[in-house]
Structure formats: C-alpha cells, structure tokens
Chain A
Amino acid sequence: AQSVAQPEDQVNVAEGNPLTVKCTYSVSGNPYLFWYVQYPNRGLQFLLKYITGDNLVKGSYGFEAEFNKSQTSFHLKKPSALVSDSALYFCAVSRDYKLSFGAGTTVTVRA
C-alpha cells in the first residue's frame, strides 16, 4: 500500500527563519510525491511534485523539497518563512493517479 506520514501536527517558526515540514513515504516501486498547501476554508494549492529526475525539486512561492530515497523522505523547505506561509500543508503520494494524503501539518509563522 502507498502511504505518507507527516510526523509533526504543528510547526512554529519565526518570520525570516528556515521552514521545514517533514514527510516520509512508504511505497512499492517508484514514488510520485506531492506537496499541497491549504488556506482556511479553501481548496488545496499545488506546490511541487517529484516524479523522477533531480532529487531537489523547486516549486511555487519559494518552496522546495528534497527527495531522499535512502531515508524515504520528501521534506518541504523554505529558506526564509513569511507570515503568509501560515497554513495547512499536506504531503501526498500518487498511485494509479489517486492521491493518498498525510494527516497534514499546520505551519504558523510568527512575525
């Protein structure tokens, strides 16, 4: 079965500091991994994906993620967080075009 885990329910950082949101995966075969962000009462916005190729994936709004096969991780990172990055972040894995989501991590960036 395909699954992802987000070990942290919440992440709190100060504006300007680096932001990391953790995700580990469990898949058979090659993983197709995604990050989405959700603002209150809104749908999900696509940030980035890893299908194949470079392990460092750059996405929207200055976010990037590093695919690490040996650690089965796909952590989301931003070098300098903004207050506007405060939201709910979901890691997801795709199989047969269906997405399985992690539980989500609430990010709070304080001014």
Chain B
Amino acid sequence: GAVVSQHPSWVICKSGTSVKIECRSLDFQATTMFWYRQFPKQSLMLMATSNEGSKATYEQGVEKDKFLINHASLTLSTLTVTSAHPEDSSFYICSAAPIGPSASYTQYFGPGTRLTVL
C-alpha cells in the first residue's frame, strides 16, 4: 500500500519549453502533496505544498510563476516547469500524505523525475 507514481520518470527538453510532471497517489487519497527538488548527492529541498482545491504554498525563494502547481483531485498533483532553462535541470520528487489525523504525518514518495534542459 501507499504507492505514489510520477510521470514521466525522465524528460529532456529544449531551453524555453515547458514541462509538466504528474504525481499520483495510487491506492490512497491525499489532501496534501509536496514537491521537492534534489541536486546530486544532496538532500531534498521542499519547493511547495499542494492542497487539493486550493493554491499551493511555496517555500521562500521558489518562484511560483516558474513552478506552477495544480492539485485538481485527491490523487493527482502536477508540477509545470515553465520556460525551462538549464539551471532547472534537477531531480524532482513528489510526496503525498494520506488523509487522516495520524496517517498524515507520514509522506510517501514518488520515484522522482529527472529533468534535463538543453
């Protein structure tokens, strides 16, 4: 149980294009989903918190117009990297927190999406 998927697993795009990454909770509903960015051999950096049916909350220093987040249902959140540039190349990981008072303390992570911008 508690499986989270991401699509695509990797993507290569040209500079200036936009890329959409999907995050789905497959066997549970998640009011809250999170988006992280990870650089090689480094820890995860929280980018934003996504709540179903409301606007995402971005961490300090993360451009909300650059990284568009939509959480349209209790099982799907999307991250769109707009006008991508080489410095946006990274490993993007999503997580989902199951609905429920104690269950929601645990986040379950997707397998990640490797974005390379040429």
Residues on A facing B (Cβ under 8 Å): 32, 34, 36, 41-46, 49, 51, 90, 94, 97-104
Contacts and interface: CB of A to CB of B under 8 A. Distances in A.
A49 B108 CA distance: 12
Nearest to A49: B106
Interface of A is mostly: strand
Interface residues of B, number: 25
Given A41-B112, A42-B111, A43-B112, A98 B49 contact: yes
A46 B34 CA distance: 15
Contacts of A49: 105-106
B53 to A, nearest CB: 17
A47 B109 CA distance: 12
Interface centre among A34, A44, A90, A94, by most chain B C-beta atoms within 10 angstroms, is A44
27 contacts: A32-B105, A34-B106, A36-B109, A41-B112, A41-B114, A43-B4, A43-B93, A43-B110, A43-B111, A43-B112, A44-B95, A46-B107, A46-B108, A49-B106, A51-B102, A51-B105, A90-B43, A97-B32, A97-B104, A98-B34, A98-B49, A99-B44, A100-B46, A101-B43, A103-B43, A104-B42, A104-B43
